[in-house]
Amino acid sequence: MKEELINTNGDLSSTDAEDTVKETLEKYEKYVNPGFAQLMRILGTTLEVKTEGVYMYDTKGQKYLDFLSGHGVYNLGYCHPKVVKAVEDQIKKIAQTSARTIMNKPMADLCERLAKVTPGDLTYSFICNSGTEAVEGSLKLARAATGKTQIIAADNAFHGKSLGSLSATGRSVYREPFKPLIPDVDHVPFGDIEALKAVINGNTAAVILEPIQGEGGVICPPDGYLRAVRDLCNETGVLLILDEVQTGFGRTGRMFACEYEDVIPDIMALAKALGGGVMPIGAFIATPKAFAPFITDPLLHTSTFGGNPLACAAANATIDTIIKEDLPKQAAEKGKYLLAKLNKLKQEYPGVIVDVRGKGLLVGIEFADEGLAGGTIYELEQQGILVLHMLNNPKVVRIEPPLIITYEQIDFMLKVLREAMEQNKSLSS
């Protein structure tokens, strides 16, 4: 089984592979970041040289089965042929826009698709280049649309690391060195509607939430929470921003996670999987009412590269493929299967696995401590399976494969995980 799925590819090994790794590490040391170089050295990292489907290959010819998806980027797997072809076709025509005053069809096509694929009256989109920019723009829009300043976010949220998004991000280790962050941003416990009620006031512009906290450790709020937040925002005239940067595009078993509670935000932030794992792209989409300030002054918020035809062509092909292959349904079904098996594993290893949770193929395994999580990540990687912990919660290992993963590949990962649990058990006993 292992041989079938992994280590079958030897053709990438080359005699100068070791030299290339050494040379790259030296450049990391001299020109990228010595701290990173040190980390790479400790981890014994090689170089990724090729990606295809659900596999990544390194210079040693090792084939890694991806259960990480670049933190939610590779919903379609790596280099999906439809997305690659769309980009190849587009690059022969026009890659970057020449002037804002000349229209850009791939971007208009993408905005139309986003309006159709997102729920309710989310209509107008601004296209940018990353998740943090999508959140940045959403926060700016909320302040401009309401004329108010307070933003309420959740403890342990992850919204990105540029200054505005970081102000909403809830992990102090990322925040402290950059204080003071933007003013008037408050945090409340995720899932606690009473706590939110207590801080909303006459100067609140928006509440920003992830429908499921990804980097926080795959935290699903109590049933009814998002609906209650929507109702509260309606009653108080506060905008609701949903950050679907990681949960969007089928990851949780619906096209967007907010669909589980039929909640339509005023502004939705998107990125990651939108580029099909081929191009970097982000977006925020808003209702006509919330988008009004950017209609009055279309130059109020701009980006040189945002909406470039190349990235938009990738995004158009991505959305079409997600719909055609019904990836949200696939994620829902495979996620249920995976979660049931992981729950069994949790029962078998109670001192090691504290909890398993998630929706669709956004699944987290919470270990008793960071060491056990780290050890498991290492063990899996040794066996050619890529997983990683969550940025805000190192005790939680993400199981976040491409949505095209097969049941056989899931079973293989589970088998290797069980072996790692045995290893953990013997270490902890």
Ligand X SMILES: Cc1ncc(COP(=O)(O)O)c(C=O)c1O
265 binds ligand X (CB under 6 A): no
Q: How far is the CB of 369 from ligand X (least distance, A)?
A: 23
160 binds ligand X (CB under 6 A): yes
| Region binding ligand X by CB under 6 A among candidate stretches 127-135, 225-233, 315-323, 407-415 | 127-135
Query: Does residue 231 have an active-site annotation?
Result: no
271 binds ligand X (CB under 6 A): yes
| Region binding ligand X by CB under 6 A among candidate stretches 9-17, 154-162, 353-361, 363-371 | 154-162
Closest listed residue to residue 109, CA positions, set 325, 307, 268: 307
CB-closest chain residue to ligand X: 131
Query: Does residue 158 have an active-site annotation?
Result: yes
Q: For residue 192, how far is the Cα from the chain centroid?
A: 24
159 binds ligand X (CB under 6 A): yes
Q: Which is nearer to ligand X, 67 or 158 (CB)?
A: 158
Pick from 90, 104, 125, 132: which binds ligand X (CB under 6 A)? 132
Catalytic residue among 58, 66, 243, 266: 243
Q: Which is nearer to ligand X, 69 or 246 (CB)?
A: 246
From residue 133 to residue 152, what is the string marking binding to ligand X with x (rule CB under 6 A)?
A: --x-----------------
158 binds ligand X (CB under 6 A): yes
Q: Please give the radius of gyration of the chain, using alpha carbons only, rounded to the nearest integer.
A: 22
| Region binding ligand X by CB under 6 A among candidate stretches 33-41, 56-64, 199-207, 210-218 | 210-218
Beta carbons of 319 and 148 less than 8 angstroms apart: no
Pick from 168, 228, 245, 373: which binds ligand X (CB under 6 A)? 245
How many residues touch ligand X under the rule CB under 6 A: the total is 15
| Cα distances (angstroms) measured from residue 355 to each of 349, 361, 365, 425 | 10, 16, 6, 16
From residue 34 to residue 73, what is the string marking binding to ligand X with x (rule CB under 6 A)?
A: -------------------------------------x--
| Cα distances (angstroms) measured from residue 74 to each of 53, 97, 155, 214, 236 | 9, 26, 27, 15, 38
Q: How far is the CB of 178 from ligand X (least distance, A)?
A: 15
Output b/e per residue, 106-120; b: 16+ Cβ within 10 A: bbebbbebbeebbee
74 binds ligand X (CB under 6 A): no
Q: Which two tokens stand for residue 423?
A: 């290893």
Query: Does residue 272 have an active-site annotation?
Result: yes
Cα gap 196→192, rounded to integer Å: 7
Q: Which is nearer to ligand X, 57 or 78 (CB)?
A: 78
128 binds ligand X (CB under 6 A): no
214 binds ligand X (CB under 6 A): yes
130 binds ligand X (CB under 6 A): yes
Q: What type of residue is 138?
A: S
379 binds ligand X (CB under 6 A): no
210 binds ligand X (CB under 6 A): yes
| Region binding ligand X by CB under 6 A among candidate stretches 93-101, 207-215, 227-235, 356-364 | 207-215
Binding positions for ligand X, rule: CB under 6 A: 71, 130-132, 135, 158-160, 210, 214-215, 243, 245-246, 271
Known catalytic residues?
A: 158, 243, 272
